[in-house]
């Protein structure tokens, strides 16, 4: 089932989306869904080559207009330049998706200072930088923001201190911006995907032992698909969600409700060097 089997094809007609991380994985799917329903999009990340390729494929698949602009979300000057290019091309921004992120499994005691900072900078500071740069335009368009979080920090997920700290901050920022920017007509919501198959994040976080046991522990008995996130994206971006703000929408088949040990414990924690070597070898 695609989003067009559920939503009208023109519900986002004339809207302009700015999507960080829009050249790959989940956020590429989110972008494609918006294009399919009539929006135009600016996709941004560090690799212009990957963005250009994705933009060309999405134009062909949807007939929508897509602009690819390279920017590192950690660098406010690059972010501001990318936003300027978006405005030069489309004149406005209606929908901001903050999806750029980095992740890998690492035991806290072997995570370097720089590694922790890197992930927090991409996920959390990046979300702030891009939201701030887009704010004047979202205010003009009475637009909306969809942040991309996770469910890893709802419980203490092993080897995820960096991402858990960053995404908890994003959840908090979602609520804060919803309150501060609501009076300007800006809605701020957040999508929290569970394990989404065939994505970079999924392959990086899958337990080294494999996926079967993990799959069986998910209440809906399947891993998520990028399509599942696309459906939620079109809903949150559309008028259907016009009275929703500050909401964190979990799309995970019930996974976070049920505690399951993804990784062996305590042996892996007691031998961090061994698990770190295994995890690095997996990438």
> What does 169 bind: ligand NAP, ligand COA, none (CB cut-off 5 to 8 Å by kind)?
none
By CB under 6 A, is residue 201 in contact with ligand NAP?
yes
By CB under 6 A, is residue 100 in contact with ligand NAP?
yes
Exactly one of 34, 83, 93, 99 binds ligand NAP (CB under 6 A); which one?
Answer: 99
Strands 95-98, 16-20: pairing kind: parallel
Q: Which is nearer to ligand NAP, 138 or 146 (CB)?
A: 146
> What does 188 bind: ligand NAP, ligand COA, none (CB cut-off 5 to 8 Å by kind)?
none
Q: Are 123 and 170 in contact (CB under 8 A)?
A: yes
Among residues 192, 240, 248, 256, which one has the least CA distance to residue 3? 240
Q: Which is nearer to ligand NAP, 1 or 283 (CB)?
A: 283
By CB under 6 A, is residue 101 in contact with ligand NAP?
yes
Q: Are 248 and 174 in contact (CB under 8 A)?
A: yes
Question: Residue 182 half-sphere exposure, CB side, CA atoms within 13 Å?
Answer: 13
Helix axes 126-141, 76-90, angle to 10 degrees: 30
Distance CA 21, CA 46 (A): 9
Burial 172-186 (b: 16+ CB within 10 A, else e): ebbbebbeebeeeeb
Distance CA 263, CA 266 (A): 9
Exactly one of 31, 45, 144, 238 binds ligand NAP (CB under 6 A); which one?
Answer: 45
Residue span binding ligand NAP (CB under 6 A) among the ranges 1-9, 67-75, 180-188, 271-279: 67-75
Distance CA 205, CA 152 (A): 11
Q: Which is nearer to ligand COA, 118 or 211 (CB)?
A: 118
Distance CA 170, CA 98 (A): 10
By CB under 6 A, is residue 20 in contact with ligand NAP?
yes
The residues that touch ligand COA, with contacts defined as CB under 6 A, are: 101-104, 106, 112, 114-115, 118-119, 200-201, 204, 280, 283
Q: Which is nearer to ligand NAP, 11 or 66 (CB)?
A: 66
Q: Which is nearer to ligand COA, 85 or 204 (CB)?
A: 204
Quote the least distance from Cβ 225 to ligand COA, whole Å.
16
Of all residues in this chain, which one has the CB nearest to ligand COA in the complex?
A: 102
Among residues 31, 63, 34, 60, which one has the least CA distance to residue 44? 31
> What does 72 bind: ligand NAP, ligand COA, none (CB cut-off 5 to 8 Å by kind)?
ligand NAP
Quote the least distance from Cβ 170 to ligand COA, whole Å.
12
Strands 40-45, 66-70: pairing kind: parallel
By CB under 6 A, is residue 164 in contact with ligand NAP?
no
Residues that bind ligand NAP (CB under 6 A): 20-21, 23-27, 45-47, 50, 72-74, 99-103, 122, 148, 150, 193, 195-196, 199-202
């Amino acid at each position: 089932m695609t989003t067009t089997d559920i939503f009208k094809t023109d519900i986002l007609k004339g809207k302009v989306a700015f999507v960080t991380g829009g050249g790959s994985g989940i956020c590429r799917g989110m972008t494609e869904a918006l294009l399919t329903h009539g929006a135009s999009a600016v996709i941004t990340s560090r690799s212009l080559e990957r963005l250009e390729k994705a933009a060309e494929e999405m134009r062909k698949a949807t007939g929508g207009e897509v602009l690819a602009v390279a920017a590192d979300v950690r660098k406010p000057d690059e972010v501001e330049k990318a936003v300027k290019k978006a405005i030069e091309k489309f004149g406005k921004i209606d929908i901001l998706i903050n999806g750029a992120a980095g992740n890998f499994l690492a035991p806290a005691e072997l995570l370097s200072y720089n590694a922790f900072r890197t992930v927090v900078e991409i996920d959390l500071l990046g979300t702030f930088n891009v939201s701030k740069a887009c704010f004047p335009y979202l205010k003009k368009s009475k637009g909306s923001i969809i942040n991309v979080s996770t469910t890893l920090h709802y419980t203490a997920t092993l080897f995820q201190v960096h991402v858990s700290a960053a995404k908890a901050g994003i959840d908090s920022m979602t609520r804060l911006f919803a309150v501060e920017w609501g009076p300007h007509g800006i809605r701020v919501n957040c999508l929290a995907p569970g394990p989404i198959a065939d994505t970079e994040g999924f392959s990086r976080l899958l337990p080294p032992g494999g996926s079967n046991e993990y799959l069986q522990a998910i209440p809906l008995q399947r891993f998520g698909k990028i399509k599942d996130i696309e459906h939620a994206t079109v809903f949150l971006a559309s008028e259907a969600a016009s009275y929703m703000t500050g909401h964190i929408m979990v799309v995970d088949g019930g996974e976070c409700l049920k505690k399951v040990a993804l990784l062996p414990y305590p042996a892996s924690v007691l031998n961090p060097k061994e698990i770190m070597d295994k995890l690095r070898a997996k990438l």
